Amino acid sequence: MTIRQGFTLVALLLCAAVANADEILMKNGSRLVGTLVSSSDSEVVFDTPFAGEIKLKQENIESIVTSEGVTLLMRDGRVFRDKKIVEEEGEMIVLDKNESPVEFAVTDIEFVNPEPWRLGEGYKWYGQANAAMEAERGNSDSDDLDIDFESIWRSLTDRYTMRGLWEVEKTNGDKTKNTWWSRNKYDRFSKTDEYNYYGYQIYFEHDEFADLDLRTLTGPYIGRQFFETDYLTMHAEVGIVYVDEQFDVAEDSDNWGSNWEVRLTSGLIPKTELYLDQAGVLNLNEPSDTIINTTAGIRFPILFGFQAAAEVKYEYDGGAVEGVDDTDKTFNFKLGYAW
Measure the CA–CA gap between 57 and 88, rounded to whole angstroms. 23
- Across 30-42, b (16+ Cβ under 10 Å) vs e yields eebbbbbbbbbbe
Q: Which of 184-193, 209-218, 229-238, 250-259 has the lowest mean pLDDT?
A: 229-238
Question: Mean of the pLDDT values across residues 160-181?
Answer: 94
Which pLDDT value is given to residue 3?
57
Which pLDDT value is given to residue 140?
67
| Range of 16-30, 151-165, 167-181 with top mean pLDDT | 151-165
Which pLDDT value is given to residue 305?
94
**Contact indicator for 149, 127 with CB cutoff of 8 Å:** yes
Measure the CA–CA gap between 53 and 34, rounded to whole angstroms. 9
3-state secondary structure of 45: strand
Q: Which of 21-35, 88-102, 132-146 has the lowest mean pLDDT?
A: 132-146
**CA distance readout (Å), 245 to 42, 164, 177, 207, 217:** 45, 19, 19, 11, 9
| pLDDT > 70: percent of the chain | 93
Phi, psi (degrees; rounded to nearest 5) at 15: -65, -40
pLDDT tens for residues 176-226?
999 999 999 999 999 999 899 999 999 999 999 999 999 999 999 999 999
**Contact indicator for 310, 333 with CB cutoff of 8 Å:** yes
Q: Which helix (H) or strand (E) holds 288?
A: none
Q: Point out which residues pair with 183 in neighbouring strands.
A: 163, 203
Instruction: Name all domains of the chain by residue range, CATH numbers in brackets.
Output: 3-114 (no CATH), 124-338 (2.40.160.40)
Closest CA relative to residue 54, chosen from 245, 210, 270: 270
Which pLDDT value is given to residue 324?
79
Measure the CA–CA gap between 14 and 273, rounded to whole angstroms. 39
Measure the CA–CA gap between 293 and 235, rounded to whole angstroms. 16
With the CA atoms of 162, 112, 228 and 191 taken in that order, what torsion angle do they form, in degrees rounded to the nearest 10? -80
Give the torsion sign (CA, 112, 113, 115, 118). positive
In this predicted structure, the answer to whether residue 281 has a pLDDT above a threshold of 90 is: yes
Averaged confidence pLDDT in the chain = 90
Helices (H) and strands (E) in the chain, counts: 1, 23
pLDDT tens for residues 7-62?
444 443 344 444 568 999 999 999 999 999 988 877 899 999 888 899 898 889 99
Question: Mean of the pLDDT values across residues 68-74?
Answer: 94
Closest CA relative to residue 48, chosen from 24, 68, 70: 24
In this predicted structure, the answer to whether residue 84 has a pLDDT above a threshold of 50 is: yes
Which pLDDT value is given to residue 93?
94
